[in-house]
Amino acid sequence: MPDILSCYKWVADEAYIRSGSSGALDLNMADYKISDYDKNAIEEAMLLTEKYGGNTAVITVGLPDDTKGVKDALSRGPEKAYFVNDPAFADLEPEQTATLLAAAIASPIPYDIIICGEGSSDLYAQQVGPRLAEKLGIPCLCYVQKVELDGSQLVAERKTDAGIEVVAVELPVLLTVVPDINMPRLPGLRDTLAAGKKPVTEFTADDLPQGQAALLQTTNSKVASITRSSRMFGTDAASIGDLVQELKNSGVIA
């Protein structure tokens, strides 16, 4: 029965992004959430253990204050959490996050399957999962939309640019999953209460080997401006006729 470890990121909710002075990105009002695609990663671990048995845990890298995220993740079903946190772990880039995760996992944390979302809903770099697999030296399957287990063999369907590939691999393996693999469950009050009692193992920078220096420098971030006219038309036949005429004038319909 497999040990399944799901990775998640606690991120600013993009719905709260505001444009500060001269279009600069303002996240001061932002609420935080578990990155959307990582909810699918946690859910898939739950579905697999409900079907095949085994153990589930979550792991994350973040700031010491991100305990709300740990509780949120545990309310979605996993039995325990590994919380890699340090005041220095702000705005990490994918290589740094993957290096920290790999070091914590090597400590060791037991796993047969590691599941990541296909990307985070903030950076959406889609790098941490594949980089982590390489650092652990285990096989990696990306964009997985279906998973089955047959003893120590995992069979997956993954999305490719041409269609679908059905692939088989011996455990251990790291998967990144696409959002349509499942519908994440909504935790109830009881799940939230139970989450507070589940074990959390913490790692800080002192527990891990020296981290990786940043390779990328963000020189600018600004709110993406939309420059469309937003001209509104009424719902009566004459107004709709005007809209059609407008579309004809702009040459997009004959």
User: How many amino acids of this chain bind another protein (CB under 8 A)?
Assistant: 80
Among the candidate windows 52-60, 68-76, 106-114, 208-216, which touches another protein by CB under 8 A?
208-216
Quick one: 88 or 166, whose CB is closer to another protein? 166
What angle, 0 to 180 degrees and rounded to 10, lies between the N-to-C axes of helices 128-136 and 94-105?
40
CB of 177 to another protein, least distance (A): 11
CB of 8 to another protein, least distance (A): 16
Residue 150 phi/psi, 5-degree rounding, is: -135, 90
CA-CA distance, 94 to 39, in Å (whole number)? 19
Among the candidate windows 44-52, 70-78, 187-195, 219-227, which touches another protein by CB under 8 A?
219-227
Binding residue (CB under 8 A) for another protein from 110, 152, 209, 239: 239
What token pair was written down for 205?
């920078």
Restricted to residues 137-196, the positions that interact with another protein (CB under 8 A) are 139-143, 155, 159-170, 178-180, 183
The answer to whether the CB of 44 falls within 8 A of the CB of 179 is: no
Segment (H or E) for 113: strand 113-117
Angle at 136 (CA atoms; ends 83, 139), nearest 5 degrees: 120
Restricted to residues 19-38, the positions that interact with another protein (CB under 8 A) are 25, 37
What token pair was written down for 59?
């792991």
Restricted to residues 43-102, the positions that interact with another protein (CB under 8 A) are 93-95, 98
Please choose, from the candidates 7, 44, 35, 9, the residue with its C-alpha nearest in 3D space to the C-alpha of residue 129: 7
Quick one: 64 or 160, whose CB is closer to another protein? 160
CB of 200 to another protein, least distance (A): 27
Among the candidate windows 1-9, 44-52, 79-87, 234-242, which touches another protein by CB under 8 A?
234-242
CB of 230 to another protein, least distance (A): 6
CA-CA distance, 1 to 31, in Å (whole number)? 37
Peptide bond before 139: cis, by omega within 30 degrees of 0?
A: no
Query: Would strands 173-177 and 200-203 be described as parallel, antiparallel, or unpaired?
Result: unpaired
Quick one: 74 or 118, whose CB is closer to another protein? 118
209 binds another protein (CB under 8 A): no
Restricted to residues 105-134, the positions that interact with another protein (CB under 8 A) are 118-119, 121-127, 129-134
CB of 196 to another protein, least distance (A): 30
CB of 164 to another protein, least distance (A): 4
Task: Classify residue 187 by its DSSP letter.
Answer: P
The answer to whether the CB of 129 falls within 8 A of the CB of 142 is: yes
